[in-house]
Amino acid sequence: MKLAFSIAIVCLALTPGLSASGQDSAASTVTAPTVPEGINDKFKDPELNVDEWLERFEVESREVYAAREAVLKACAIKPGQRIADVGAGTGFYSRLFAKRTGWDGWVYSVDIAPNFLQHIAKRATADGIENLTTVLGTDVSIRLPPESVDLVFICDTYHHFESPQQSLASIFRALKPGGRLVLIDFERIPGVSREWLLGHVRAGKEVFQSEVVAAGFEFTDEINVEAFEENYLLRFTKPGK
């Protein structure tokens, strides 16, 4: 069905497996702990019930939802910027980004779950949000053109990346020189973190940070979000400009 305002699922295929520069890079030599087997199966399931995930994702008891204003401040969005919300889920951050960047900007809601993307498109149409496009990503690529976005936002999703080096390479390509990457994920500290997190999240903050740097990014800083107890927020920059 064609949705109003030309909001569509876009599949702009890029060659998977290339490094950020199109050649072998340090990221290709990183041996990362593997994700739990089948971690993304439920999201690819055509029977995925979006309502169940709305009850999990868009509730004040979820840190990244309750702290959304502080997170938006850390993203430092300017009017007219183009933003990729990678692992957009139910799209609540995508909608907030679309309002912040305004009609001169654009938001790409990237996810591997077609049902999530359908929900995001319908909700955007219902809310009158016209500056948003849904993008069906893959396990190795966010499927956006080179140097097409100013900001990539990854919230509670990086630990789901099954091929982190390849996914990071596609993110690096998609960012403009000087573009920014904001990464939010869960602290994984043996003896401190919940057992579920220890089994679900493949590695801790230091490992994830090193993987992003190995992909060509420069680490900028870590932002202290007062409401975060289990999450952290890191900011990176693509060199140039």
Q: Is residue 31 situated within a structural domain?
A: no
108 neighbors 81 (Cβ within 8 angstroms): no
Measured from the Cβ of residue 54, the count of other Cβ atoms closer than 10 Å reads 16
pLDDT at 8 over 70: no
Q: Report the DSSP pairing between strands 82-86 and 106-111.
A: parallel
pLDDT at 65 over 80: yes
**Structure-token pair, residue 38:** 């089948």
Band of pLDDT at residue 32, cut at 50, 70 and 90: low
Q: Report the pLDDT value the prediction gives residue 12, as an integer from 0 to 100.
A: 37
**Structure-token pair, residue 156:** 């509670």
Q: pLDDT tens digit string along 166-189?
A: 999 999 999 999 999 999 999 999
Band of pLDDT at residue 43, cut at 50, 70 and 90: very high
CA angle 183, 181, 174 (to 5 degrees): 130
26 neighbors 180 (Cβ within 8 angstroms): no
Q: Is residue 142 situated within a structural domain?
A: yes
Measure the CA dihedral 87/22/30/108, to 10°.
Answer: -10
Specify the length of the chain in residues: 241
Measure the CA dihedral 9/14/16/21, to 10°.
Answer: -130
State percent of the chain over pLDDT 90: 83
Q: Is residue 29 situated within a structural domain?
A: no
Q: Is residue 18 situated within a structural domain?
A: no
Average pLDDT, the chain: 88
Q: Is residue 27 situated within a structural domain?
A: no
Q: What are the helix (H) ranges across the chain?
A: 41-44, 50-57, 63-66, 68-75, 92-101, 114-126, 164-174, 195-200, 205-214
Strands in 106-111's sheet, in edge-to-edge order, are 9-10, 132-136, 106-111, 82-86, 149-155, 175-186, 231-237, 218-223
pLDDT at 132 over 80: yes
pTM of the model: 0.87
Q: Is residue 196 situated within a structural domain?
A: yes
Which is it for the CA torsion 17, 149, 6, 52, positive or negative? positive
150: containing domain:
4-10+38-237
State percent of the chain over pLDDT 70: 86
Mean local confidence (pLDDT), 91-108: 97
Structurally, the chain folds into a number of domains equal to 1
pLDDT at 2 over 60: no
**Structure-token pair, residue 142:** 């966010």
Q: What is the CATH number of the domain that holds 197?
A: 3.40.50.150
pLDDT at 20 over 60: no
Mean local confidence (pLDDT), 135-164: 97
Q: Is residue 23 situated within a structural domain?
A: no
Q: Is residue 16 situated within a structural domain?
A: no
